[in-house]
Structure 1
Amino acid sequence: VSPYYVENGSGTKSGAFSKHYYAGSDRIASKTADDAYFYFTDHLGSTTHITDRSGDVAQYAAYTPYGSLFREYRSVQPYKFNGKELDQETGYYYYGARYYDPSSTLFLGVDPLADKYPGIGGYIYCAGNPIRYVDPDGRDVWEINEAGEITSHIKDKTQDAFYMVAKDADGNYQRTYTTDANGNKNYNSVSFEYGTVENFQSQYSDDAKTTFLWYNVRGDNNGQQLFELFADNTNVEFSQLQLGQKGDNGLNIISTSCDKSTERSANFLLNNQYKFGYTIRGHNHNHPDNTPYPSGLSSRGSDIGFSNSLTNISLRNGSDIPAFKIYLSKTGKYVKYDRNSTIFDFPETTPIIDLSTVTVSP
């Protein structure tokens, strides 16, 4: 169970609810200064009952198939159909990428991927079958900008796909790509079998004053592909924390704090979960400026300090010393280091003297 500060569609903190608690992607509780509320949902994720701290029913709601309120007893929170926020003024639900109008059963914006489904209108909700399907975000892919931020996301029932995006001249996000000699587009993307990305979390940290993002990816090769996609196409640092078994069953945590010169989410995840009995096999991270050596060689902090802490955690858990590597997107190569690395292990850190130019006076 993880605590979150949740922003509403206008980008502000959600009303009187200072903190929300999630199990995976499901909201299970909300806390205010005066009380706590616990959520009960149906198979579509719609909030049906809410109880307060005493166990009394604080809210009850029933819905029509397309999300209009059929019956409601009190209203202590705005998260209703599919667990989405209902705007009381407009009557629209906020789905992240688009707004949805339950009275017309249509989205207010066209699906940017409508060309993938020519038989379904670009405004149609859940292919016209709201009893069976859920549209968590109004779109059906992950799209990531150069700052490492998610611009849109929905779980695709056939695959887990990631696309890099950038703003065009009009300020709209478009998928980025390269072209080959024949003019064919090669999108900066990666896709996996559905379920490869087992979990995603986004959590705001009051202490760090930033949002941590992380993806749980099954399989070392899959984890490496996603890590390198992000490292090659963003200007921020990402981590790849490798846990458990090696190979196809390996668990890879791909994380970022969306900083250009540091990656704070890995340390946060370790302190809150993964230092407690997990087998830690390795940790990779990228340097956006392609610096080919770890930071902290002199101070023994930063990269070197983190590798020392992670090594100590692993040894206390009875595991081997993890492998540490820096990924350089410019060359596509990895640079190895460990907690005992010094400047003498990396010639790039010191000036190289050309002895042929040195003269010795008699």
Structure 2
Amino acid sequence: MKNQEVIYSNSYEQRTAIINGNGTESYYTYEPVMRRMTNLKTINPNGDLLNNDYTYDYVGNILSIDNVGQNPYHQEYNYDDSYQLSTATGNWFNNNQVTYNLGMSYSPSGRITNKTLYGNKIDNNGTSTLDHKTDYNYTGSNPYGVSDTYDNINGIQNNFDWDIKGNMILHNSPQWGNRQLCWTEDNRLQAVKDDKMGVYYNYDATGERNLKLTGGTIDLTQNGTTINIPILDQQTLYASALVTVNDKGYTKHYFEEGKRICSKIGSGELQDIWTLSTPIEDDYQKIHDNRSIGGVIKIFDICMKLPVEIKNKDLFKEIILPYESQVNSSEPVFYYHSDHLGSASYITDDSGIETQQLVYLPFGEDWVDMKYNTGQYETPYKFNGKEKDEETGYNNYGARYYYDWASIWLSVDPMSDKYPHVTNYIYCSNNPVMVVDPDGRDEYGLDVNTGRLSYLNQKEGKDVIHQGTFGKNNTFVRNGKESLDNISKDILTSTNRNEDLSKTGILVKGGRQGEGLDIMKFISFNSNKEMTAAGFRDNQGKDGLAIDPWSMNTHDRGVLGKYNQSNGLKNIGQRTFFIHTHPGDKKGNGGYWTPSSSDINIWSNKSNPFLMVPKYILSKRGGLTEYNLINNKVTYPITNNENLKKHIKRQ
């Protein structure tokens, strides 16, 4: 139906189809066992815009993406033993063949030591070279912050400096001279200035950016000395997540489960927003008043020892007021069609005709950016669906900014204490093809009645699982009981509110086995669902945990799932133990530490080599016990889950 979106999902609550309001359609196909997406197809009146086939290795890393739709392309990826991207190649086939070949090298802690890229990229101005062979050096006071890079092909050196909190404060480049960066007390980027431009950012109380002032620079001579002064003559007001206003007009955004699906340009429908939040004129006036008292001038003066000139229009009077009394439904509407990472791949207009195609290099740099109607909307929301600031080239992820050219963050990971063995600045553990590095904390809801575990939303901090129940329309109501927090971000990777992890299971990799056991215990004992899992050790000696789907389980019965089938783990790592829980029911019955007769029957099947490993029961009444198949005896108790981690580590 025109201007309406219809979404279809399967029994695993994974999206299977989307019918957009402009007539475009997207279809999703998944593996029957691992439930990984194998095909993504987007159709418009001209045929297949996208027809992406995905292949994976045994641990879920993407090996290839093959698009056989319009303007086809093919990309291949390889990984090192720590699952970091090591090489990648790409071919885009149109009238001009565009290719790239990427090679990455890392230190043991994940610091990039070399990034080599050969090939070319294409946009409406034609093709241009990508070639560089860049060494990264770390000789400054910040052992994880790059001090300089040197391009061995072009002879170009970039220099960097960092403050004591780990924020980048200087980037010297032949491209723009000395770029200075200023930060707030809570480590948010507030101002940037180089020889070509200046920019100021303001944030609301929740840390969301609500104002951006930008402009070029002029040379000013004072006492015989020439200084470069920023002139901030352009502004963007982020009135809410739904409306962005700038000097040219405004854009109204539409979202589905946190995903941007449509943008309407200058539609004159701001009156629809009044009931959703504080009126825009109030927000604008507060921001304007804050700016007028000298906040911007003070930042540039204290941080950069520079004056700044502000020449902004009154957005409220010139942009917002003229639209308040009108509704013009004929203003242009544009739809986003995203890939598996949420990155915009195609933009289509109200008739479903493509207006822009985007394809990215693995770490987010533009590779293909073709506008098919240069007079229409050009999206700033690109890699991972995040806004890329044209003035700096940085991608705004909210709490932090990402620099795709260097493949690093500009500031320290707020969760750095969870990853003491790796650098604070790496993006997605150097695996950007498979993983999205969202901003802040992901919140998940555990339905204590059904065992359902689903993504809720993002907030700043570390991942957390709340207890409660899901009602109609996926509404989650917390029950006020204890939550499980401080969860590493590479464990619960779903960001789809419709996906139920109890139907797909959880694969915990990269030495996070202890956290996997904590999650398993929390889910089982609070939902009264028996759960099963297998421990494994990969070829790097890192311990992981494969947690079976538990949606069909009861308090006294578990169903072996996909990970524990005969071949489920053989290509992931060496099996080290088997564990299942005895949570008991909600009335307090059951939950004993001894194996049931069915447990013993299953474990005694010596024809299944998977079962010939240590076996544990984690029970609500007796803690941890081990069943010894040799003498058919139970060793108990090992007391608690913390001791389980220590006990298993000795195996």
TM-score scaled to structure 2, two decimals? 0.31
Name which of 290, 293, 296 aligns with 2:594.
Answer: 293
Q: What is the aligned partner in structure 1 of residue 574 from structure 2?
A: 279
SS in 2 for 1:141: strand
SS in 1 for 2:624: strand
1:152–1:242 CA distance, 2 compared to 1 (3 A)? same
Q: Is the 8 A contact 2:30 2:36 kept in 1?
A: no
User: What is the CA–CA distance in structure 1 between the aligned matches of 2:629 and 2:493, rounded to whole Å?
Assistant: 30
Name which of 496, 508, 519 aligns with 1:216.
Answer: 508
Q: Is the 8 A contact 2:455 2:495 kept in 1?
A: no
Q: Which aligned pairs between 1:150-189 and structure 2 lie closer than 5 A?
A: 150-153=453-456, 158-166=461-469, 172-178=475-481, 187-189=482-484
Q: Which aligned pairs between 1:194-273 and structure 2 lie closer than 5 A?
A: 194-195=489-490, 197=491, 211-216=503-508, 218-244=511-537, 249-258=542-551, 259-260=553-554, 261-266=556-561, 268-273=563-568
AA aligned to 1:102 is S
1:276–1:21 CA distance, 2 compared to 1 (3 A)? closer
2:29 matched to 1:19? yes
Q: Is the 8 A contact 2:455 2:494 kept in 1?
A: no
| CA positional deviation for 1:333 | 0.7
Q: Is the 8 A contact 2:592 2:622 kept in 1?
A: no
1:243–1:257 CA distance, 2 compared to 1 (3 A)? same
| CA positional deviation for 1:263 | 3.1
2:256 matched to 1:94? yes
Q: What is the aligned partner in structure 1 of residue 624 from structure 2?
A: 334
Name which of 2, 5, 29 aligns with 2:39.
Answer: 29
| CA positional deviation for 1:280 | 1.2
User: What is the CA–CA distance in structure 2 between the aligned matches of 1:153 and 1:169, rounded to whole Å?
Assistant: 14
Gapped regions of structure 1 (runs ≥ 5):
41-47, 63-90, 111-124, 179-186, 203-209, 315-320, 347-362
User: What is the CA–CA distance in structure 2 between the aligned matches of 1:267 and 1:20, rounded to whole Å?
Assistant: 14
AA aligned to 2:595 is P
Aligned-residue CA RMSD (Å): 5.7
1:341–1:276 CA distance, 2 compared to 1 (3 A)? farther
Q: Is the 8 A contact 1:142 1:162 kept in 2?
A: yes
Aligned length: 255
Deviations 1:277-336 (A, max 9, x none): 7221112111232143323x3xxx55641564696137xxxxxx522111112x251232
| CA positional deviation for 1:27 | 4.3
Name which of 26, 42, 51 aligns with 2:68.
Answer: 51
Q: What is the aligned partner in structure 1 of residue 427 from structure 2?
A: none
Q: Is the 8 A contact 1:190 1:229 kept in 2?
A: no
1:212–1:188 CA distance, 2 compared to 1 (3 A)? same
User: What is the CA–CA distance in structure 1 between the aligned matches of 2:575 and 2:528, rounded to whole Å?
Assistant: 27
Gapped regions of structure 2 (runs ≥ 5):
1-7, 19-25, 43-47, 55-64, 74-91, 93-122, 124-252, 277-380, 389-395, 398-435, 497-501, 585-590, 636-651
Q: Is the 8 A contact 2:16 2:29 kept in 1?
A: no
Name which of 136, 145, 151 aligns with 2:447.
Answer: 145
Q: Which aligned pairs between 1:307-322 and structure 2 lie closer than 5 A?
A: 308=605, 312-313=609-610, 321-322=612-613
User: What is the CA–CA distance in structure 2 between the aligned matches of 1:129 and 1:53, rounded to whole Å?
Assistant: 24
2:390 matched to 1:130? no
User: What is the CA–CA distance in structure 2 between the aligned matches of 1:94 and 1:129, rounded to whole Å?
Assistant: 15
1:153–1:304 CA distance, 2 compared to 1 (3 A)? farther
Q: What is the aligned partner in structure 1 of residue 235 from structure 2?
A: none
SS in 2 for 1:228: helix
Q: What is the aligned partner in structure 1 of residue 323 from structure 2?
A: none
SS in 2 for 1:242: strand
AA aligned to 1:225 is D
Higher Cα Rg: structure 1 or 2? Answer: 2
1:148–1:9 CA distance, 2 compared to 1 (3 A)? closer
Indicate the structure with greater strand content. Answer: 2
1:136–1:158 CA distance, 2 compared to 1 (3 A)? closer
Q: Indicate the percent of aligned positions where both proteins have the same amino acid.
A: 14
SS in 1 for 2:530: coil
User: What is the CA–CA distance in structure 2 between the aligned matches of 1:157 and 1:231, rounded to whole Å?
Assistant: 27
1:145–1:95 CA distance, 2 compared to 1 (3 A)? same
Q: Is the 8 A contact 1:237 1:286 kept in 2?
A: yes
1:163–1:276 CA distance, 2 compared to 1 (3 A)? same
TM-score scaled to structure 1, two decimals? 0.50
User: What is the CA–CA distance in structure 2 between the aligned matches of 1:165 and 1:27, rounded to whole Å?
Assistant: 29
AA aligned to 2:465 is F
1:340–1:30 CA distance, 2 compared to 1 (3 A)? farther
Q: What is the aligned partner in structure 2 of residue 75 from structure 1?
A: none
Which stretch shows the higher mean deviation, 304-313 or 5-14? 5-14
